[in-house]
Structure 1
Amino acid sequence: MTLRWTSRRVPRSTLRTQLTLLYAGPFLVSGVLLLAVPILQTRRSVPVGAPPGLGTDFPPGPDTSRVLAVCAVALAVLVVVSIILGWLVAGRFLRPLRTMTATARDISATNLHRRLGPHRRAGEFTELASTLDDLFARLEAAFASQRHFVANASHELRTPLAATRAVLQVALADPGATVDSLRAACRDVLALGGTQESLLEALLTLAGGEQGVEHREPFDLAVIARDVLRTRRTDGVAGTGSVEVTGAFGAAPATGDPRLVESLVANLVDNALRHNIPGGRVEIATATTSRGARVTVGNTGPVVPPDQVERLFEPFQQLGGQRVRRAAGHGLGLAIVRAVAGAHGATLTARARPDGGLDIEILFPGAFPEAGIR
């Protein structure tokens, strides 16, 4: 025989009930203490005309008992009144909190763009509203980043997927296909797969940059920029051909996500190399200023109208208001730069050179002392 014990969960008291008891409690304790004083005095008093040497403890007389009864009734009435007043005061005090809760629930369910705004009661309610507004802003940014990622991925992956399908269909439909033609088709498919992989990596980096930095650690921009340039030279991207690359790497300590910052610097360098001219130049420099750690990348290239500079930091954009050509890259480099800079609270400044090209500066705030960089 198995015995099963079932227990009901005791409902937790609400905050209003707790505040009501907190208000009524001092009234009850004070009343009991006030009632105890006359009781003790009555029991220790000596009646008038009592012979000397009698004890001091006498039973209370009729008048004293009547007074005590009245005091007890008054105490009970005061406790009831204090509970009622405490309930009303607690409700009045918690009304703004209930309003904020209902508004926050409606915002989270319908429109994250709304905000609670400053409360008319300064103090804790205003701080709570500000904290919730900051939370809604981060949630809105995260959802916007997710929507942008899905939209960009669905649009940009459609072309390589269609091309992959076309290559495979042509290879399968060819009755005279040979080993060499099938190998060529496989090489084309692998190349298209590599394009899709690099595009997905760029989209993931863009989405990660837009979501912000959760864990910060110290790093040195000089070390990151030097490693990026060394990798580009090893791969044959920089330092060969007709584009001259120079670097001046001064210590520039900062804090953040080194992986995202490395992607920022790499995209700056790749953009400067890709959009250049024969015989052009690329200059990379890092330094520490009074405002923080700075990295600058300048390059020669086609003339960029000043009113077109801001638009170049949008995804999949190029000069002339058209979407970027596949041969010119994915068109996400500068968008990644802006997202990573914004996630780190860095200031991005881009200027068009009169003779062609761009000068881009990223200033990271809150530099750490050089001894903190390893």
Structure 2
Amino acid sequence: MTSRKRSLQTRLALAYAAGIYAAGVFVVVFVAVPLAGVQSATSTEHPSSSAITGTGSGISLPQLLTGSAVALVLLIPVALALGWFVAGRFLRPLRAITATARSISAGDLHRRLGLGEPTDELTELGHTLDDLFARLQAAFDAQRHFVANASHELRTPLAGLRTLLEVALADPDADAGALREACQEALALGGYQERLVQALLALATSERGVTRWDTLDLAHVAARVLASRRGQATEAGIDLAEHLTSAVTAGDPGLVESLFANLIDNAIRHNHAGGQVKVTTRTSGPQAALTVTNSGPVIPEDQIQRLFQPFQKLAPDRHGRGDGYGLGLAIVNAVTHAHHATLTAGARPEGGLSITVRFTHGSAAPLRRGAPHRTGPVRPAMDGAPRPG
């Protein structure tokens, strides 16, 4: 037990002792002294009573004050001892919480306080700390997993780039054409790394949270993103359809545009020739909603939640394009949580995904800036939920 905790117990013991001692003084001043005065006055008015009863005039005021002073002096150590005992009993659960929290902070994130009965303020504090430790453990596990995956994703193109250059330099018969081809492949690998780093930065920015709240219309944001993606969709043989109605909300325009871009890029990338992507914005009660629906391969329902985690893909290099990083839907998930929005995803029976994000409508979103950042599983699409296309 450290001196700081001793100091807390000492302060509590002194507070309890002061209360007990104050109660004793109160009894002496406001109860015993008036009673002694009443008894003295009665003896003066009826002097013959002593002869009848055979007793004296009772305890005099000086005697009472002397006895009370002695009692108050003896009460001091008794009050201190009682206060120290009571303070120790009250601080015992707090000491257990502190010891366990110190053990957990030292690296054992799997331990929990596990306080049981009785249910009181300290037990509630223990439950709150258990929830906090669980979230910290999940965050640390996710961070370690993310770093391992990021290291692997970055190491692969670097290893390929080094092998390419070593082969080109080791070939004594390499001519200008071969070297030029090697340089072009190196540039392609460098571009892949640059795009991967940009995606990692976008994910980190999304997870940082919203620092700017502006009023924006989801329909206008969707129109800008769709205009920039039509060439890419045409080249891939994908039909872009839209049904955009005004849906005003509040948020960070850059993050919301990143959410749209990653949803549409994901819908185009994981599609098939002759497929379709449909984008819808609308107002639904107190919420502004956007929905992106795409055709594509059939996705098992139990795999949907995993796709919203970093570096998770349904299958490696789907459709042979090899241009995905497994970060698009993770960025969508991070932006959704940063805006305290709701994300719903469902697999379409004919193939592809239907993803809906619902923002707080109008200007109510900034009022929720102080709300806790809650992470959790992506909600599955419910029967009857709007699914365009």
Question: TM tier, shorter chain?
Answer: 0.7 to 0.9
Shift of 1:195: 0.8
Per the alignment, residue 82 of structure 2 pairs with 85
For residues 128 and 254 of structure 1, what CA distance do their matches in structure 2 show? Answer: 37
Alpha-carbon distance change, 216 to 63 in structure 1, aligned in 2, over 3 angstroms: same
Q: How many residues were matched structurally?
A: 345
Is it true that 1:96 corresponds to 2:70 in the alignment? no
Shift of 1:33: 5.7
* 1:154-179 CA-partner distances (Å, limit 9, x unpaired): 22222211111012112322334555
Shift of 1:86: 0.9
Alpha-carbon distance change, 73 to 370 in structure 1, aligned in 2, over 3 angstroms: closer
**Structure 2 residue identity aligned to 1:242:** G
Listed as ranges, the gaps of 5+ residues in structure 1 are 1-9, 49-61
Is it true that 1:279 corresponds to 2:274 in the alignment? yes
1:265 aligned to 260, 265, 271, which one? Answer: 260
The residue correspondences of 1:342-353 to structure 2 (distance < 5 A) are: 342=337, 344-353=339-348
The percent of aligned pairs where both chains have the same amino acid is: 52
Per the alignment, residue 56 of structure 2 pairs with none
Shift of 1:353: 2.8
Shift of 1:345: 4.5
* 1:12-51 CA-partner distances (Å, limit 9, x unpaired): 9622111111112234345456656788999xx9997xxx
Alpha-carbon distance change, 307 to 197 in structure 1, aligned in 2, over 3 angstroms: same
Per the alignment, residue 336 of structure 1 pairs with 331
Alpha-carbon distance change, 372 to 249 in structure 1, aligned in 2, over 3 angstroms: farther
1:362 aligned to 352, 357, 362, which one? Answer: 357
Is it true that 1:199 corresponds to 2:183 in the alignment? no
TM-score (norm 1): 0.76
Asked if the contact 1:118/1:126 (under 8 Å) is kept, the reply is yes
Alpha-carbon distance change, 334 to 16 in structure 1, aligned in 2, over 3 angstroms: same
Per the alignment, residue 296 of structure 2 pairs with 301
Determine helix, strand or coil for the equivalent of 2:344. strand
For residues 86 and 351 of structure 1, what CA distance do their matches in structure 2 show? Answer: 62
For residues 248 and 197 of structure 2, what CA distance do their matches in structure 1 show? Answer: 30
* 1:73-107 CA-partner distances (Å, limit 9, x unpaired): 11011122111111111111121211222222222
Moved more, 348-357 or 276-285: 348-357
Shift of 1:367: 3.0
* 1:265-292 CA-partner distances (Å, limit 9, x unpaired): 2221011111223332211112221363
For residues 219 and 140 of structure 1, what CA distance do their matches in structure 2 show? Answer: 36
Alpha-carbon distance change, 81 to 222 in structure 1, aligned in 2, over 3 angstroms: farther
For residues 341 and 183 of structure 1, what CA distance do their matches in structure 2 show? Answer: 44
For residues 164 and 288 of structure 2, what CA distance do their matches in structure 1 show? Answer: 49
**Structure 1 residue identity aligned to 2:244:** F
Alpha-carbon distance change, 213 to 291 in structure 1, aligned in 2, over 3 angstroms: same
Asked if the contact 1:213/1:257 (under 8 Å) is kept, the reply is no
For residues 308 and 96 of structure 1, what CA distance do their matches in structure 2 show? Answer: 44
For residues 276 and 4 of structure 2, what CA distance do their matches in structure 1 show? Answer: 73
For residues 113 and 345 of structure 1, what CA distance do their matches in structure 2 show? Answer: 28
Alpha-carbon distance change, 309 to 22 in structure 1, aligned in 2, over 3 angstroms: closer
Determine helix, strand or coil for the equivalent of 1:14. helix
**Structure 2 residue identity aligned to 1:129:** G
Per the alignment, residue 54 of structure 1 pairs with none
Is it true that 1:247 corresponds to 2:242 in the alignment? yes
Per the alignment, residue 10 of structure 2 pairs with 17
Asked if the contact 1:246/1:282 (under 8 Å) is kept, the reply is yes
2:287 aligned to 292, 309, 329, which one? Answer: 292
Listed as ranges, the gaps of 5+ residues in structure 2 are 45-58, 368-389
Determine helix, strand or coil for the equivalent of 2:232. coil
Moved more, 192-201 or 305-314: 305-314
For residues 250 and 114 of structure 1, what CA distance do their matches in structure 2 show? Answer: 51
Is it true that 1:139 corresponds to 2:136 in the alignment? yes
Asked if the contact 1:119/1:129 (under 8 Å) is kept, the reply is no
Alpha-carbon distance change, 225 to 140 in structure 1, aligned in 2, over 3 angstroms: farther
For residues 212 and 114 of structure 2, what CA distance do their matches in structure 1 show? Answer: 30
**Structure 2 residue identity aligned to 1:109:** A
Shift of 1:206: 4.0
**Structure 2 residue identity aligned to 1:217:** W
The residue correspondences of 1:148-167 to structure 2 (distance < 5 A) are: 148-167=145-164
Determine helix, strand or coil for the equivalent of 1:230. helix
Asked if the contact 2:215/2:363 (under 8 Å) is kept, the reply is no
**Structure 1 residue identity aligned to 2:184:** R
For residues 74 and 157 of structure 2, what CA distance do their matches in structure 1 show? Answer: 82
Determine helix, strand or coil for the equivalent of 2:343. strand
2:103 aligned to 98, 102, 106, which one? Answer: 106
Moved more, 106-115 or 303-312: 303-312
For residues 203 and 300 of structure 2, what CA distance do their matches in structure 1 show? Answer: 25
Asked if the contact 1:149/1:207 (under 8 Å) is kept, the reply is no
